[in-house]
Each structure stands twice: as structure tokens, then as C-alpha cells.
Amino acid sequence: MEILSPEKIVDGFKVALGDGFIDSKIYQKEVAVKKNIFTSIWIHVKREAFRKAVEHICELQEYPHLAIISPSDRGDDVELIYHFTIYYGHHLQELSLGLRVDVPKSDLKIPTITDIIPGALFTERETQEMMGVEVVGIPDNRRLFLPDDFPEGIYPWRKDETGPEDMLRVLPGRQQKWQQVKE
Amino acid sequence: MAASKGIERYTIPVGPIHPALKEPIRLDLGIDGEEIVDVDVIVGQVHRGIEWLGMNRNNPVQNIYIAERVCGICNICHPFAYIMAVEQAAGITPPERAEYIRTIIAEMERIHSHLLWAGVAAHEIGFDTVFYLVWRVREEIMDLIEYVTGNRVTKAMFQIGGVRRDITEEQFPRIRKSLDYYKSILNQLKTVFLDDRMIQMRTRNVGVLKAEDALKFLAVGPTARASGVTKDVRQDQAYGAYADMDIRAITPDVLTGTIIGDVYDRIIVRLLEVKQSIEIIEQCLDKMPSGTILVEPKIAKLLAMLKKAEGEGVGRAEAPRGEVIHYVRLEAERETLAAWKIRAPTYTNLMSIPTILKGGQIADVPIAFGSIDPCMSCTNRAIVVDRKTNKKSMLTYEELHELSIEKTRRLKAEFDR
Amino acid sequence: MSLNSFKRALWLYHINAGSCNGCDIEILATLTPRYDVERFGIVLVGSPRHADVLAVTGPVPRQMVSRLKRVYEQIPDPKVVLQVGSCGMEGGVFHESYNLVGPVDQIIPVDVYVPGCPPRPEAIIEGVVKAWVKLEKAAEQRIT
């Protein structure tokens, strides 16, 4: 396996994805006394090119590590970032690779990647229940963390009307603070 | 437990109340006689909605303390990853001295956590003497943590842009004294755990996870390293004072020459990592740079700075159980975090559990499950199901623990003969 | 039954109701050689049916409510509930959440509170001693 520089990795994505590639960002910072470099790469892709991008990451390293999917509510869209790490096992060579894909709220669907990375199952289940993004083709459709009697249509991480505001329980002797923050 | 008649299979639910693990999780084990054929992990019993709190109630500084309480055992690596993410998002570079202090505290935590695990693992196979021995030994590091940070468990050392407390020259001798104590007893611990025939019989070839499965199911930390995957954030990525050192991931072959990926290998990795942590702390003490420990000591100013900041960051740290990752996004004019996602190591290690338990015996469940050092508060009990009748029989932890102890006794009797 | 009915060892059952582990490991630390409450016969038992004292940690998430109630009901009388940690008392850092049903005393009756996040082993021992006194009083009342 050849270790590519961050720029080359970005170029590789551009070639592999073509139109599906939107944007990229390379973040580097020096750490501690010896000023070794910490690197993270952010790659923004279209939903159509998303699976291809994951397959491309698998070409960079046979078993890329998928740390987590971090979904966030950005108004009209839900932004999903797949946090990969590649080149682990090599001293200070590892890269954090954030694969960003936007899903419009009118069509909250994303294809599963469990056929490529079997370990992605937990985080896909979590994304479904917490953000309400349907993962198409997911082999296990159950909830992960939320209880079975948790109401349908409420997604704790949303910031719109489907958020968990109605379910909030302010413990006795405490002030409700989140509304103040909101105002 | 119902005895299997003919070809019947049962499902035995274990948990969610599970005293030795101290945390609720449920495993549904499909069994055929004594053999486990199917495993389902059910989590979520301790879901507290921490990320929601960080995004809606707390400001970034308050979040450090919430991050500490994601898990009471690894309450350093969560804030560590969290502050790194915030620093990256806000463009803050912590002073060098702070990086070294952070590393020292993180390694102290690793020593305490690995010893804690070693004790619990001994308890799972019925060796309570060893459990008490290890926990007595562990009190030394707890004292040291209290000496350095002011508290035994939650350390509250971290601040965005540095650390809250300095480690001064006068404190070094006391720290070295504790480290010397651990160096002197390490060989004894190794003999207790690795040379004991009973421990070998209970852990060798039990709960095997092959390197390929570890990679597929995204295993992290000692679970992955015991399977021969050289993956350690401290080695792979530049963060903290680790970036200045030559740290190599520890795999069990350094001691035995082979990698099996069983429970025994996981014991080896953790014991060797205690030694590694001692060495890292010593190196940090030797090379500690001078200077300030905090970029902005005034919290009001720091908060104003963070309120203006716009950006995102990802922080990754090696917890005693594996990689912790925090993702943070800051938006200008927003007092709370715009996005916060936490991934604890047990989250991904749980996916390897079916592979680890399948083909094993029910009596091996406590030790095999315990061998990944599951931390449910970070992530969340076990069920066993008989397939033939689809009857669910509850196996309390006590019965399960009894089974495990019985197996040790049986093996011992065989061995003595 | 006489007052002497409680002249025996105190057995403790511990349930984690969504705690972060901080209190849990301190409870375990009180049992191990440094603090060693086992010398007074205080042991952690694996089944609520054997216990005199129920130690509860954590702010009680939704999934744990029925389990907490069930464990409480399984403990034979006289019993005492020892609630360990700030978050079970009033939410602590977790107050205000969509998945919490606590505090503990709104789900089951609590006799002794041990505040702290996490409390030190010494504090937990003091809590256990108070629980013991209360159990003896409960045993006394039963005879009169």
C-alpha cells in the first residue's frame, strides 16, 4: 500500500468522482515541541457519488476505519459526515478523512454502506433513529439506543419541529435553560 | 438453564442488570446445548442524551464537564478529544507544556483503567483473590491522581486552550515514586496473570477475534491490537505529547511470538500497556517544556472568543479501551455548539461481540464479553435464546457467574488429576 | 422477631441506573482492600433477593425505570435504599434531558442520599453506616 500526500488524495477523489465532487479542505496543524503535523481532510460529495466515494476510500486502504457518522441539522438539509481514518498502523501517517454529504429534508435517504464496511451497522442505525434519515438497504432496521416506546417521528438531534422539545423533563428545582439559550 | 432435549435451541437473556460489569446491557444468546450459536446485542439502557445537552443547553466550556461524565472511568480521554475538536474549530493552539501535562494525566488514567479491568477479569473467572490484589495495587495510582489533580475520579484538568492545573517540579519526585512502585510489581502481576495455569486454561483460545474480523467490524484499542491490528491513535496521529515520542502499538507477539486474538492475548496487551504508560509518563517528566499552561485564563474572554469562532474540528484520542472521537462544529453568534458527536470505543467494539462469543460456551460469556472491557455508559446487557422452542429463559448474572466459577473448578480438578 | 434481628452482616445490591461509572467504581473501591468494608461483613451480592440495601447510581434513563422498580420490589423487607451520586438526586450535569425520568426518589423511596460527583469512598461508607442504623430502627419497629 502506497501512502499518498493529502493533496494527491484529494486529486484522486476528483478524478474518481468527476461531477460528484463538490469541494475539499485540507487542515493541518503543528503539534507539541517537535512540530509534527496533524492532518485532516474534508471532502464534500454529492449524494449520487457517495457510494463511489466510499469505494474509492477502500481503494486507498483495504480496510478503512469508519469511526462514526455525525449528522447535523442545517435547516433545509441534513448534513452527514462519515468520519474515516486511513493509513493507520504507520507512525504519525494516519489521516482523518471526513466525507461530507448533504441530504435534503424533502428526501431523507442515504444508501447503506454495510455491504462495503460491515461495521457501519451501529452508526447507520443510530443515524436513522436520532436524525430520521432513512438508510436504504440497511440489514437491521431496529432502533439502537432509543427505547421501543419512544414516540415515532421525534428525532432527538433535529433542531426543527421534530426535535425532542416536548419530551424534555426539567428536574425539580432546576430552571429550563434551553429556551433562554434559543431566544 | 433448561437442559437441551434433542436438538432444541434456547435463547437466554443476560442482563440488563449485570453486577460485575456495573453497567446495563442486554445480550440475547442463541444456544445449542452449551454452545452459543447466535448473539444479539441490545444497547441503549443508559442513553442520557449528552449530545443534545451540548447542542442546546451548555456553552463549550460547560461541555468539558459533561464530556467528563460521558464515562467515569475514561473521564480524561473524552474531554481530551473534545477540547482538541474545539481548539481545531476555533483555531486555538495550546501551549506545549499543556500538551505534556495532558499526556501525563491521560496515561495515569490508562494505568488505573487497565488495572481496574484486570481485577474485574479475574473476578469473572472466579479469582477473587486476584481481584482484591489488583484493586489494592490500583489504589496507588488513585492516590497519585488525587495528588496531581485534586480528585480521585473526575479529574477536571482540561480547559480549552490548555490545562487548569500545572504539574510543578516539586511534584515530580512523588510521581516518580508511584511509577517506581508499579515498575517493581509489574513482573509480579505478569506472573499472577500470565503464568497461572488456571488463567491460561480459562482464557487461551476463548473468545477469539481474528485480525480480519477485527478490521471488518472496526475494532479499536486493545481488542484490535490483541488480534494483531497495529492500530493506536497515539502511534498513528500527532496529538498531545505523543507526537514527540516514538510510540508503537503493542501486539501480543512481542511476548509470546504468536497472535491468537483470544482473551489471553488481550490480558497481555493490557499488562504491557501499563508498562508503556509508565515509560510515557517518565519521558514526559524528563522532557517537560517550560512556559504557560493556558492560552486564555479568563473564562469570560475565552467564551467570547469561542462565540465568535466559526468552524469545525475532529478530535481523536486513545482511551484505555480504544479510540475516542469527538466532532464539533461552532457557529458564530451561537452560545452552544452547533453540532457535537461523540463516539466511544465500546460502540464499535460491541460489533465484534457476536464473533467473539459464537462457538463458545455459556460459562465463558462473562470473561469473553468482559475481555473487550465494555463501557456501557460510554455506549450500554446479554440475552440467551433457545432456537428450537424459541423459549426465553432468564439467566441471572449470578447464575452465569456461578457457571463461570464452576468451569474454573472443573478445569482445576482435571488439572490436579 | 426481636431487635437483634438485624445483628447480622449487611448485604448490598448495586444497580446502575444510567450512571457514568464514576460512582460505580467508587462503590467497588469501598469493598476492596484499601477501604475494605468487607471486614464488617458488608458484601456486594449478585441478586436483589439476598440484599438488605439497594445502592442506586445514575439519573435513571427511560429504559431503566421499570427495571429499577422491579429490582426494588424484589428486595425483602426491611430494606433501605442508598442513593449514590448527585445526578440521581437532582439530575446533576444531566438535568434537563429527553430520556431521563429521574430523580431516583420520584421512582422508588430513598432513605439515604450520598451526594458527590462521584462521592469519595469515605462518603459512601458513611452512607452505608446511616443505612445500617435505619435498618436497625426498622427492625425495632417491626417487633413493637
The alpha carbon dihedral of B48, B51, B57, B58 has a sign of positive
Cα radius of gyration (chain A): 19
C32: in domain = yes
Do residues B122 and B57 both lie within one domain?
yes
Do residues B251 and B388 both lie within one domain?
no
B172 to chain C, any CB pair closer than 8 A? The answer is no
What is the grid cell recorded at C139?
Answer: 427492625
B240: in domain = yes
A182 to chain C, any CB pair closer than 8 A? The answer is no
> What residue ranges do the domains of chain A occupy?
6-182
Angle at B332 (CA atoms; ends B331, B334), nearest 5 degrees:
75
Which residues does chain A have with pLDDT short of 50?
181-183
A50 to chain B, any CB pair closer than 8 A? The answer is no
Dihedral of the CA atoms B254, B259, B263, B265 (nearest 10)?
0
Do residues B235 and B383 both lie within one domain?
no
| Per-residue pLDDT tens over the stretch A10-39 | 999 999 988 889 989 998 888 888 888 888
B112: in domain = yes
C2: in domain = no
Provide, as residue numbers in chain B, all residues whose Cβ is less than 8 Å from the Cβ of C58: 46
| Per-residue pLDDT tens over the stretch B139-181 | 999 999 999 998 888 888 899 989 998 999 999 999 999 999 9
Q: Most A CBs within 10 Å: which of B343, B351, B355, B376, as the mutation test of the A interface?
A: B343
CB atoms within 10 A of CB B37: 15
| Per-residue pLDDT tens over the stretch B244-296 | 888 888 888 888 888 888 889 999 999 999 999 999 999 999 999 998 999 88
Q: Do B100 and A93 touch (CB under 8 A)?
A: no
Q: Do C90 and A172 touch (CB under 8 A)?
A: yes
Average pLDDT value over all residues in chain C: 83
Q: In this structure, which CATH number among 3.40.50.2300, 1.10.10.10, 3.30.460.80, 3.30.70.260 belongs to the domain A6-182?
A: 3.30.460.80
Do residues B139 and B212 both lie within one domain?
yes
What is the grid cell recorded at B356?
Answer: 467473539
CATH number at residue B150: 1.10.645.10
Full domain range(s) for residue B270? 50-286
Do residues B34 and B121 both lie within one domain?
no
Do residues B25 and B72 both lie within one domain?
no
Full domain range(s) for residue C64? 8-143
Do residues B38 and B150 both lie within one domain?
no
Is-contact A133 A72, C-beta < 8 A?
no
Nearest CA in chain C to B374: C21
In this predicted structure, what is the pLDDT of residue A132? Answer: 87
Q: Most C CBs within 10 Å: which of A146, A169, A170, A175, as the mutation test of the C interface?
A: A169
B157: in domain = yes
B319: in domain = no
Domain count across chain B: 2
The helix or strand, by DSSP H or E, that contains position C44, with its residue range, turns out to be: strand C43-44
CA distance B27 to chain A (A): 13
CA A69 vs CA A79, A87, A145, B125, C40: distances in Å: 10, 19, 15, 37, 50
Residue B402 CB contacts under 8 Å (≥ 6 apart), including other chains: none
Nearest CA in chain B to A75: B338
Which residues does chain B have with pLDDT short of 70?
1-27, 44-46, 373-400, 417
ipTM over 0.90: no
Last residue of a domain, one of B264, B286, B308: B286
Cα radius of gyration (chain B): 22
What is the grid cell recorded at B78?
Answer: 473524552
Do residues B64 and B181 both lie within one domain?
yes
In this predicted structure, what is the pLDDT of residue B284? Answer: 92
CATH number at residue C32: 3.40.50.12280
Q: Is the pLDDT of residue C96 over 80?
A: no
Last residue of a domain, one of B286, B301, B318: B286
Q: What count of CB pairs under 8 Å joins A to C?
A: 38
Nearest CA in chain B to A178: B57
Domain count across chain C: 1
A37 to chain C, any CB pair closer than 8 A? The answer is no
CA atoms within 13 A on the CB side of A24: 18
**In chain A, which residue ranges form alpha helices assigned H by DSSP?**
6-17, 50-60, 121-131, 178-182
Per-residue confidence band for C112, with pLDDT thresholds at 50, 70 and 90: very high
CATH number at residue B367: 3.30.390
CA dist A84 and B106 (Å) reads: 24
- Whether the predicted model's global pTM rises above the 0.80 cut: yes
Nearest CA in chain A to B42: A144
Do residues B88 and B168 both lie within one domain?
yes
Last residue of a domain, one of B243, B260, B286: B286
